[in-house]
Amino acid sequence: MNRSIFIGRETEVANLQKYYDSKESEFVVIYGRRRVGKTFLVKEFFDDKYDFKVTGLYKKNKKVQLKNFALALKEYGYPLKSTPVDWLEAFSALKQLLIKTDPDHGKKVVFIDELPWLDTPKSDFLAAFESFWNGWGAQQDNLMLVVCGSATTWISKNLLEDVGGLFNRAARRLYLMPFSLNETERYLQSRGFQWSRYDVIQTYMIMGGIPYYLKLLDGTVPLSANIDNIFFKKKGPLWNEFTILYETLFGRSDIYMKIISTLSSKKSGLRQSEISLEARVPQNGAFTKALKDLVRCDFIRAYNCFGKKSVDITYQLSDYYTLFYFRFIKDQLNPDEHYWTLTLDNPARAAWAGNSFEQVCKDHLWQIRRALGINGVLSNASSWKGQFDGNGAQIDLVIERRDRVIDICEVKYSIDEYIIDKEYESRLRNKISVFKAATKTKSAVQLVMITTFGVKQNSHSGIVSANVTMNHLFAPAEW
């Protein structure tokens, strides 16, 4: 196995090896956002060699799914004369196939990709799957069952949080996160890219750390040309990604789209009641489930406001591609194929860049804490909005530390060193003053600037207690 190809997946590879080497049966669930690389991880780890593999088919009925399963059984050598009539019969055939497999060739590996798509309405798939594993698979000492699925909500409900027959059966859980900035840089370098970190961070602000998206990039042309070719060129690789992404995860549910659409225009996010009001969706069970599902799939971020109780959770759209889609793609029916290259000075791009860079910072809190030298100090990150004596202020990132220090973080994206002038210094002092007075905190409060290239030293920069730059965000997350 060439482990050098597993950039950003070193921990997952080590765990898969441990499960494969164990002396008992293993049921491994690999889940995460669509396009994050679940199938690639399994394929490369096992060198695409299994004792049985099948992939669920999107939006196909029980009959077609069973036919597909039967064809896979035949491919792996089982003498099936006809398509199974139901899933109990299908898994019985799989059991017989595995029993006849040479017991001396190591662990028998069964890989079921896109497992949720096999569970069609009224198919009794889960009952048969449960019977296969509980009634036979779990008793073997040389079987490794690996299942994947992009439908994180289905995986969580039916495998990870199931209180029935599969309760606590999927003990091996690998959740694949998008790449960090460090992993994204390493991935691009492994493909021969020689881009600056400024280019890499711009790429991240558009695509996030999604391997499938990053694979579409061409290192021989500038970043701007890449974005035009991928997003704005007619029938480009990601021209209809939004529809595919959300329909494959959540179907055609209007609730999900209304929530996403509402949050797309709210930089600082909204509370649950505010989302319900603006999206015109009642606060019922379906609405609550949709919010939970979107958080599970990492499309929206749920966080507390400083000093508030958990009931005041704020929800913020945090998926980079979705943010980019709503800002630049959604309303363009016939965009110029060179749109991104020709709109360098568009004010809308500056506003989007500021918001997206803020998301990058929130996704790299470990790196920010490390840059501040507080990784060994218990801390909590939140946001804050309030007023005192008629003066209002809003802080997008507050780090409250156990050592009785509060870091008020100002996040600024710029193409050069950020300049603090007299007016901005005054606004910063007002923000700190309002925060101290409104929260009545007894902790020391200091200002942290998080910028791309740092803060230019001048007569107004003395207000800054600590500087965090773009380079700090590229640190590997290691303890």
Per the listing, tokens 């690639």 go with 40
What is the rounded CA–CA span in Å between residue 347 and residue 353? Answer: 10
- By C-alpha distance, which of 241, 221, 249, 246 is closest to 153? 249
Asked, for residue 271, whether it belongs to a domain, the answer is yes
Report d(CA 32, CA 10) in Å as an integer.
Answer: 16
* 479 in a structural domain: no
Summarize the confidence of residues 19-31 as an average pLDDT: 93
Which residue type does 273 have?
S
Q: How many domains does the chain have?
A: 3
Final residue in a domain of this structure, among 175, 190, 211: 175
In this predicted structure, which of 77-81, 157-161, 286-290, 357-361 has the lowest mean pLDDT? 157-161
Q: Is 47 left (phi over 0), alpha (psi -120 to 50) or beta?
A: left
Taking the C-alpha atoms of residue 148 and residue 55, their distance in angstroms, rounded to an integer, is: 9
Domain check: are 190 and 147 in the same one? no
* Residue 423 · residue 434 · CB < 8 Å: no
Tokens representing residue 147 in the block: 């299942």
**Residue 98 counted as domain residue:** yes
Please indicate, yes or no, whether residues 46 and 101 belong to a single structural domain of this protein. yes
Choose one of 363, 382, 401: the last residue of a domain. 363
Residues 160 and 213 in one domain: no
* pLDDT tens-place string over residues 94-143: 999 999 887 667 799 999 999 999 999 999 999 999 999 999 999 998 99
Can you say whether the dihedral through the CA atoms of 155, 158, 162, 165 is positive or negative? negative
Asked which of 30-44, 147-161, 282-296 is least confident by mean pLDDT, the reply is 147-161
Cα 198 to chain center, whole Å? 22
Query: Apex CA 125: angle with CA 123 and CA 129, to 5°?
Result: 165
Is residue 68 in a domain?
yes
Q: Average per-residue pLDDT in the chain? A: 91
Q: How many CA atoms lie less than 13 Å away from 425 in the CB half-sphere?
A: 15
β-strand 26-31 against 143-149: which pairing, if any?
A: parallel
Q: Are residues 137 and 183 in the same domain?
A: no
Residue 127 belongs to a domain with what CATH number?
Answer: 3.40.50.300
Lowest mean pLDDT among 134-148, 259-273, 302-316, 427-441: 302-316
Question: Is 388 strand, coil or helix?
Answer: strand
Place of tokens 């380079």: 471
Q: What is the per-residue pLDDT for 432?
A: 96
Q: In terms of domains, do 394 and 441 share one?
A: yes
Residue 262 lies in a domain: yes
Tokens 């000093």 — which residue?
Answer: 307
Cα-based distances in Å from 257 to 207, 262, 290, 291: 20, 8, 10, 11
Which run of H or E residues covers position 232? none
- Verify that 150 and 190 share a domain, yes or no: no
Are 257 and 333 in the same domain? yes
Number of alpha carbons in the 13 Å side-chain half-sphere of residue 260: 28
Q: Give the pLDDT band of residue 164 (cuts 50, 70, 90).
A: low
Same domain, 415 and 372: yes
Segment 409-428 shows an average pLDDT of 96
Q: How far apart are the C-alpha atoms of 358 and 344, rounded to whole Å? A: 20
Same domain, 247 and 146: no
d(CA 12, CA 18): 10
388 plus 441 within the same structural domain: yes
The domain that holds 428 is classified in CATH as: 3.40.1350.10
Cα 301 to Cα 224: distance, rounded to the nearest angstrom: 28
153 and 189 housed in the same domain:
no
Instruction: Give the model confidence (pLDDT) of 51-105 as tens digits.
Output: 999 999 999 999 999 999 999 999 999 999 899 999 999 999 999 999 988 766 7
* Overall average pLDDT of the 275-302 stretch: 91
Q: pLDDT tier at 2 (50, 70, 90 boundaries)?
A: very low
Which among 145, 175, 205 is the end of a domain?
175
Domain containing residue 170: 3-175
- Please check whether residue 319 is in contact with residue 299, taking contact to mean a CB–CB distance below 8 angstroms: yes
Q: CATH number for the domain including 344? A: 1.10.10
Order of strands, edge to edge, in the sheet holding 300-303? 270-271, 314-317, 300-303
User: Is the residue at 293 inside a domain?
Assistant: yes
- Token pair 């088919």 in the structure block, residue: 57
Angle, helix 10-21 to helix 38-45, in steps of 10 degrees: 50
Kindly tell me if the per-residue pLDDT of 426 is higher than 80. yes
Q: Provide the 3-class DSSP secondary structure of residue 476.
A: coil
In a domain? residue 14: yes
Strand pairing partners for 411?
Answer: 450
SS3 159: helix
Give the H/E segment covering residue 308. Answer: none
Q: Please state the three-class secondary structure of 109-120 as a single string.
A: EEEEECHHHHCC
- Please write the tens of the pLDDT for every residue from 193-251: 999 999 999 999 999 999 999 999 999 999 999 999 999 998 889 988 998 888 888 87
Whether residue 281 lies inside any domain: the answer is yes
39 and 112 fall within a common domain = yes
Note the residue count of the chain: 479
Which residue from 173, 19, 38, 171 is spatially nearest to 109, judged by alpha carbons? 19
